[in-house]
Amino acid sequence: MFSNEERDSIYKVIYNRRDVRSFLSTPIPEDTIHNILQAAHHAPSVGFMQPWNFILVSSDETKEKLAWAAEKERRALAIHYEDEGAKETKFLGLKVEGLKEAPITICVTCDPTRGGSHVLGRNSIPETDVLSTACAIQNMWLAACAEGLAMGWVSFYKKNDVRDILEIPPHIDPIALLSIGYTENYPDKPILESANWEKRRSLENLIFENKWGKK
């Protein structure tokens, strides 16, 4: 199905995808954005519900508001690390300015009503709509990497703040704020790994055979 070169390219994108916090203001070509969104839209979804929407935010005023919401929550979360001085410093060093720097921030949402009340597969596992949206986000992230773009997932915010800023209906779930743009600082390793926040766990310790706990 794929040549050796094509297969290697897929693994290269997977292993080199990074969560980036620093962006250039360089505009992104419209066809590139379209390619990335098409990749997201071709993600698998349970019952083919396709629960996602994409809000493209380019307004400086709106990005400022989103950055304010993220900074407010980051400061609130820092309290949890007060007893671990080094970790608190590292946490407060995590940038949210990418929301203002990047030319575009994409809010990916999930509509739990899409497809009606009896979406195939969702009766047994209700959260499959969120899981399907996560697949779309991963497709988008890998496509951005393949296009030479950087992306950062900002997870510090209250959902109601984002709903208010972007005028999202109450039943729609804002799953992710993703800043996207070009960068001069694409890291060799994940930022949190480089900051010694956490190390990549050994795959061998995460694999069980036939039942939980059996290596």
Supply the range of the domain harboring residue 52. 29-148+161-187
Is 212 part of a structural domain of the chain? no
What's the pTM value of the predicted model, to 2 decimals?
A: 0.89
| Integer Cα distance of 102 and 24 in angstroms | 6
Per-residue pLDDT averaged across 41-65, rounded? Answer: 96
211 Cβ neighbours under 8 A, 6+ residues apart: none
Q: Which of 75-84, 92-101, 169-178 has the lowest mean pLDDT?
A: 75-84
Whether residue 44 is predicted with pLDDT greater than 80 in this model: the reply is yes
CATH number of the domain bearing residue 119: 3.40.109.10
Per-residue pLDDT averaged across 151-159, rounded? Answer: 90
Which pLDDT score is estimated for 84?
Answer: 56
Which pLDDT score is estimated for 96?
Answer: 64
Which pLDDT score is estimated for 94?
Answer: 58
Per-residue pLDDT averaged across 149-167, rounded? Answer: 94
Is 166 part of a structural domain of the chain? yes
Tokens coding 49? 């519900």
Which pLDDT score is estimated for 3?
Answer: 96
